[in-house]
Amino acid sequence: MKPEKIEKWLPHRYPFLLVDRVLELKPGESILALKNVTYNEPFFTGHFPERKIMPGVLILEALAQAGGILLYHSIPDPDSVFVVLSKVEEAKFRKPVIPGDQLKLQVKMLKQKVSFCSFEAQAIVGEEVVAEARLVAGIMKKSELDEKI
């Protein structure tokens, strides 16, 4: 899946769209996606100017976005819902992510219910896990969300 299709499934846009490509997608099971970390990322201006390190929260966001793509492909009538990150558990950051790294975003679906879905997620550079977490996504009806906004 190329960027044009990713934008069909995620509401995020530059500079907050953190999935560049989807390599594998098994609806209801798992996704393998990529995020190419470049020197020109806007967050590197301030994090940190002397030693550029990708913020851990953005690694989690990239994993959550990959999980969102997986979830949208795993539910009936995906156009009627809006998926939001609602919980992060057991997050661990094992190594810094720097310009030039390619993050493999590996997300596996653990449990899916009507209003939420839980995932096991890992960010990998080369063969090393650099971050991991359990994520929970909330599934909201777009009509309910529109009433709140």
Q: Which domains does the chain show, CATH number per domain? A: 3-148 (3.10.129.10)
Q: Say whether 47 is catalytic.
A: yes
pLDDT at residue 98, rounded to an integer: 98
pLDDT at residue 144, rounded to an integer: 79
Q: What is the mean pLDDT of the chain?
A: 95
Q: Is residue 107 predicted with pLDDT exceeding 90?
A: yes
pLDDT at residue 148, rounded to an integer: 74
Range 17-25 average pLDDT:
97
pLDDT digits (tens, 9 = 90+) for 57-89: 999 999 999 999 999 999 999 999 999 999 999
Nearest CA among 139, 66, 134, 70 for reference residue 105: 66
CA distances from 43 to 63, 65, 68, 144, 149 (A): 17, 18, 22, 33, 28
How far, in Å, CA of 48 to CA of 145, rounded?
36
pLDDT digits (tens, 9 = 90+) for 117-137: 999 999 999 999 999 999 999
pLDDT at residue 80, rounded to an integer: 93
Other Cβ atoms closer than 10 A to 102: 14
Q: Where are the beta strands (DSSP E) in 60-148?
A: 81-93, 102-112, 116-125, 128-141
The catalytic position among 47, 95, 108, 134 is 47
118 CB-near residues (< 8 Å, 6+ apart)? 109, 110, 111, 112, 134, 135, 136, 137
CA distances from 49 to 41, 94, 97 (A): 12, 21, 14
Predicted TM-score (pTM) of the model is: 0.95
49 CB-near residues (< 8 Å, 6+ apart)? none
